[in-house]
Amino acid sequence: MRRAILEALVPSRFEVLHGPGSMLAIRRDAGEQLRRLAMARPEERAATAPAFRGRGPTQCLVYDLHNHRRAVFRPYRRGGLLRWLTRNKLFGAARPFRELEVVESARARGVPTAAVLAVRVDRIAPFLYEGEMVTEELEEAPDVRQWLRREAPAPAMRRAMVRALGEAVAQLHAAGVIHPDLHLRNLLVRAGEPPCAFVIDLDRAVRRPEGPGLGRGRLANLRRLDRSIQKHNLLEGAGATRADRFRFLRAYLRVLAPDLDPRTVARRLGAHYPLRRLRWRLGRWFQRGAAAG
């Protein structure tokens, strides 16, 4: 893709730097330390001891910055069947810059999500690229799965947390953004007075203004989140209660569609996904068997 097309996706408060086969968009107010880390190739940067290495397929690296913040370097991965062949290879360079554009637009409309510090792509072969996004770490904000596994909070704090989650998702939808994969790991919570919630990982999110009410994209997001809740409850034993789910919907609809009855929406989300539940159980059984072997 031509440089001019990619540069058109970059917001004005970012500057664009070009290197041999690479393109970096970085915040104009970025400090020298972040610039050095972002301009280094990933394999060079990996030799610098990070403050924290993430787990799972993305292997995020977290670095302490001099201004008492932390920067999270997240490599892009392909999903679906192609992930076994391409791993971290992208067909084209636009994906990180499109996410940057969506995140900046969402934050400007009040969506609580992580601030982007930089994005980078490196060409490794004709039409093949590796990409990386750098965001500011949301400190002391576990994802909802981690939060549910911890010691149960006081009932008042739990209710406030659930309301904050409903409002965060409603703000995302009110900004016209449809999340590509809204599940519990992409929702973070932070205790406080009041508590707050964040929506993360807007890679491949789309902007689709749907007007008031529950459009098809918004309803699909809520159903995806409901599946994630049911999966967590099935596999973890303790999780979100029916009261939690109803309280979430009530907070969500208060922001986005106050005329809708939460009970009506809950019935529209009321599928029990029998085939998926069977697959979840089989997946857990195979994982336990592999671990025992």
Please say which residue of 95, 112, 136 terminates a domain.
136
Tokens at residue 283, please? 């997946």
> Quick one: which of 228, 123, 219, 237 has its CA closest to 173?
219
Please say which residue of 136, 169, 198 terminates a domain.
136
Give the DSSP H or E segment for 11: none
Residues 7 and 31 in one domain: yes
Residues 204 and 84 in one domain: no
Domain with 41, as residue range(s), is 3-136
Residues 159 and 219 in one domain: yes
Residues 154 and 264 in one domain: yes
DSSP for 106-161, written as a single string: HHHTT---PPEEEEEEEEEETTEEEEEEEEE--TT--BHHHHHHSSPPPHHHHHHH
Q: Tokens 């990180």 appear where?
A: 96
Residues 182 and 281 in one domain: yes
Residues 152 and 286 in one domain: yes
Residues 282 and 148 in one domain: yes
Residues 187 and 66 in one domain: no
Tokens at residue 238, please? 């303790």
Residues 117 and 52 in one domain: yes
* Tens of each residue's pLDDT in the chain, 293 residues: 578 889 999 999 999 999 999 999 999 999 899 999 999 887 777 666 666 655 454 568 888 888 778 899 999 987 655 555 666 789 899 999 999 999 999 999 999 999 999 999 999 998 899 999 999 999 999 999 999 888 677 899 999 999 999 999 999 999 999 999 999 999 999 998 899 999 999 999 999 877 778 889 999 999 999 999 988 887 777 678 889 999 999 999 999 999 999 999 988 887 767 777 677 677 766 666 655 55
Residues 131 and 199 in one domain: no
pTM beyond cutoff 0.85:
yes
Residues 125 and 173 in one domain: no
Please say which residue of 136, 161, 180 terminates a domain.
136
Residues 207 and 96 in one domain: no
Per-residue HEC secondary structure of 24-81 comes to EEEECCCCHHHHHHHHCCHHHHHCCCCCEECCCCCCCEEEECCCCCEEEEEECCCCCC
- Which segments of 235-277 are extended strands (E)? none
Q: At what angle do helices 274-292 and 216-236 cross, to 10 degrees?
A: 40
Q: How many domains does the chain have?
A: 2
Tokens at residue 18, please? 């070009």
What CATH number did the domain enclosing 267 receive?
A: 1.10.510.10
Give the CA radius of gyration of the chain: 20
